[in-house]
Structure 1
Amino acid sequence: MRSIALVTAIASAGQDDDLVPLLDACTDAGLAAQIRAWDDPSVGWNRYDAALLRSPWDYTQRLPEFLAWCERVSAQTRLINPLPVVRWNTDKHYLDDLVRRGIPVVPTRFVEPDMEPLPALQAFLAEHAAAAEFVVKPSVGAGSKDAQRYSRSQEFAAANHLARLLDADRSAMLQPYLPAVDEHGETALLYFGGRFSHAIRKSALLRLDGADVPQPPATEKIAARIPDADEVVLAETVLATAVEALALAQPLTYARVDLIRDAAGQPSLLELELCEPSLFFAHATGSAERLALQLARTVSVRA
């Protein structure tokens, strides 16, 4: 029986709702699966035929350490998704790579730690004069942590937020806030082995507040949904482009493509999650089983 480690983090204990159903599905698919934390030094990773990144969600605060761990583990077993994917996808500068390859992406300006925050913000606002609101967030981050939505009248508060990120030696992102998310939310499409599995709708998380401090996000609401045809076309184009950009010989074992509609009503890429995405098994019957069967196929093929 092939063995696989479902990789979480000590800090993520009890937070990953996908782990238990995936553990059961792996057993049914003939895989000996165990949940292991990437930052547990007692784990012998060479004992497993593969290590599947599931919820190492503290990597955003420990990226160099996490990437070094990924490199070590890749020399001992099969890392899923593989190391080049993890290196590329853990920093959202990959969005620039996809833009250069013709993918419609939510307009993004990256601000680097050696740049002055206020001039960078003012240049962004001038470039997007029609945007009533915008978002500041780190380029290495998960979910809505350290992300905030601002109106144009909150330029000073937004510049302070930007400065805090840059002072911590973190690259930041500026994006116009697309109003369609308030009505339609985000669409997340899940693919296993390059095949569409299911999709969900996520409600808007970032709220607008007048305070000069980052505000907590709203409660996230998630529901199953059937994606529109143009969303499927874009998601599959994004995945094919990523596989080409990374020169991968095989389709990605798992991927989540997060889309949002722009002012013209066209779908745009918000994020491409290839390292540790929530997979929302609870909203799609059979989805955990589909991933487990894909894992069994992946692990059976020589790396």
Structure 2
Amino acid sequence: MRTAIATCAQMPDGFQEDDLAAALQSTWVVWDDPEADWAAYDTVLVRSVWDADRRRDEFVAWAHRIAGSTRLLNPAAVLEWNTDKRYLAELPAAGLPTVPTVFLEPGRPLSDDVLAELGTPAELVVKPAQSAGARDTGRFALPAGYGDAAALAARIHEQGKAVMVQPYLAAVDEIGETALLYFGGAYSHAIRKGPILEVGAELVTDDGAADPDISAREPSRAERRLGDAAISWLITRFGGPLAYARVDLLTDGDGEPVVIELELTEPQLYLPYGDGATARLASAVRALSSAR
């Protein structure tokens, strides 16, 4: 089985997944390389394509195009769905609690009505519906930061992107974020990610800023239940298990876990934080590659 791992031009050798490349005996290939012969590979595994959110339409077209000549993991339909965070609007109806979110399409500014819809939070998070990591994301204390929050929303709209607005959940400052990793539909490991956003901080604009304060974490029973439920729903929605999925959770004001994102396109998988994680992911990729 010949496997390529798709990456971006800024990281032609991928990002900290040398062991995975060795386990799969794979080759790193830049996703938008015009000379790449994708049909020469049995499987293409999408990994560190960290510029795709800035060229989302081009990336989605690429995914559908090469899926016609090779097995793409994760599949093109998953990548198209997951690269626009408006997918979060589907989750509550599936019984998956999320951080309350209002999406502002271009032409709809941040307003008092939006804040009321979110329960008039003390702090606000504003970010693009198409973004990676914490890029172009701001945290604002209200009411002092209202003008800056509205200005960021307007700048995102100028890029032709929808804006997502959420209350900042204060528990993240003490508890952090829990990310659960699943390979081939099976739980692998989890990590704790410390808080990233600070009020008044400069926006992250680079491709692949390092996460602060990462450590292995044993998820609570409630977190595992929610993570497992999210994966079960994804399997049903897309007709089978995914090579990898990261379920990012925060704790709400009632102490219950809620989904902040389902990362299915280019997330860090924190393989060094789970014993045997690289082997489990490689096994999942091989199994899906050989499935008919």
Shift of 1:84: 1.1
Per-residue CA distance 1:167-203 (angstroms, 9 max, x = gap) = 1111010000001100011000000111110100000
- Say if 2:44 is the partner of 1:48: no
Q: What residue in structure 1 maps to residue 179 of structure 2?
A: 188
8 A contact 2:13–2:28 mirrored in 1: no
Q: What residue in structure 2 maps to residue 4 of structure 1?
A: 3
1:93-104 to structure 2, matched below 5 A, reads 93-104=86-97
Shift of 1:14: 5.3
Query: So what's the TM-score if we normalise by structure 2?
Result: 0.94
Per-residue CA distance 1:76-110 (angstroms, 9 max, x = gap) = 10010111111111100110011222210000000
One-letter amino acid matched to 2:21? L
Per-residue CA distance 1:194-244 (angstroms, 9 max, x = gap) = 1110100000000012x7x64789961100111111100000111111222
One-letter amino acid matched to 1:240? S
One-letter amino acid matched to 2:158? D
Going from structure 1 to structure 2, the CA distance change for 1:55 and 1:215 (only over 3 Å counts) comes to closer
- Say if 2:235 is the partner of 1:236: no
Match of residue 223, structure 1, among 215, 223, 227: 215
1:121-270 to structure 2, matched below 5 A, reads 122-152=112-142, 153-209=144-200, 214=203, 220-246=212-238, 248=239, 250-270=240-260
8 A contact 1:186–1:203 mirrored in 2: yes
Going from structure 1 to structure 2, the CA distance change for 1:130 and 1:160 (only over 3 Å counts) comes to closer
Where 2:286 maps in the other structure, the secondary structure is helix
Where 1:165 maps in the other structure, the secondary structure is helix
Going from structure 1 to structure 2, the CA distance change for 1:215 and 1:72 (only over 3 Å counts) comes to closer
Using the aligned pairs only, state the percent identity.
42
Which residues of structure 2 form unaligned runs of 5+?
none
1:54-65 to structure 2, matched below 5 A, reads 54-65=47-58
Going from structure 1 to structure 2, the CA distance change for 1:118 and 1:231 (only over 3 Å counts) comes to closer
What is the number of equivalent residue pairs in this alignment? 288
Mapped partners of 2:212, 2:113: distance in 1? 32
Query: So what's the TM-score if we normalise by structure 1?
Result: 0.91
Q: What residue in structure 2 maps to residue 85 of structure 1?
A: 78
Mapped partners of 1:287, 1:8: distance in 2? 20
Mapped partners of 1:146, 1:52: distance in 2? 27
Mapped partners of 2:26, 2:203: distance in 1? 40
8 A contact 1:161–1:214 mirrored in 2: no
Going from structure 1 to structure 2, the CA distance change for 1:202 and 1:289 (only over 3 Å counts) comes to same
Per-residue CA distance 1:266-295 (angstroms, 9 max, x = gap) = 000000011111111121221111111111
Mapped partners of 1:220, 1:3: distance in 2? 35
Mapped partners of 2:120, 2:210: distance in 1? 25
Shift of 1:42: 0.9
Mapped partners of 1:289, 1:215: distance in 2? 33
Where 1:173 maps in the other structure, the secondary structure is strand
Going from structure 1 to structure 2, the CA distance change for 1:57 and 1:130 (only over 3 Å counts) comes to same
Which residues of structure 1 form unaligned runs of 5+?
27-31
Mapped partners of 1:17, 1:100: distance in 2? 36
Where 1:134 maps in the other structure, the secondary structure is strand
Per-residue CA distance 1:122-156 (angstroms, 9 max, x = gap) = 21222334521010000000110000000112111
